[in-house]
Amino acid sequence: MCSSLIVYAHYFKEDAALAMGMCLVLLATRWMMMSRSRSGIIAGVILVGSACAIATSAKYIGIVFWIPGLIAILAPPARRWHHRLLRTLIFLLVFASLTVVINYRIFLNPAGFKKWIRIRGQSRRQFAFRSGAESSQRVLP
């Protein structure tokens, strides 16, 4: 096996899930824009909420895909103002419930999650410190 694949395998798994979430958000927004029936729009809202939950759970930067998701939810015409509010509430409910299901380990062991965040932050700071120190120590010929 290639040693670089072993080293970068951790990042590949997150990037693949983020890419899938991004594609699903784009597919769901397309569905929303093309739907004309009320049931089609509600199904699209559920798809957008699910896709945004997948993208956000893959990497935190996936939260950016809320922007096209919310635009797609609010853009279709509504006969009454509360229809848009209902769509937004369905989106938030689906997003929150699927995010909890995907990240259930955080809620089962919050102390372990806090410890993991602390360790990850320390390792990144140490890596940045070492990288900066190594780049400033140049050997002249």
User: According to the model, what pLDDT value does residue 95 have?
Assistant: 96
Across the range 94-108, mean pLDDT stands at: 91
Confirm if 91 and 45 have CB atoms less than 8 A apart. yes
**Structure tokens of 37?**
């029936």
pTM of the model: 0.72
Q: What is the DSSP string of 9-41?
A: HHHHHHHHHHHHHHHHHHHHHHHHHH--SHHHH
Q: What is the pLDDT of residues 23-65, one digit of tens each?
A: 999 998 888 888 888 888 899 999 999 999 999 988 888 899 9
Q: How far is CA 56 from CA 7, 28, 34, 74, 104, in A?
A: 24, 15, 25, 20, 14
d(CA 95, CA 47): 10
Under a CB-based contact definition with an 8 Å cutoff, are residues 22 and 14 in contact?
no
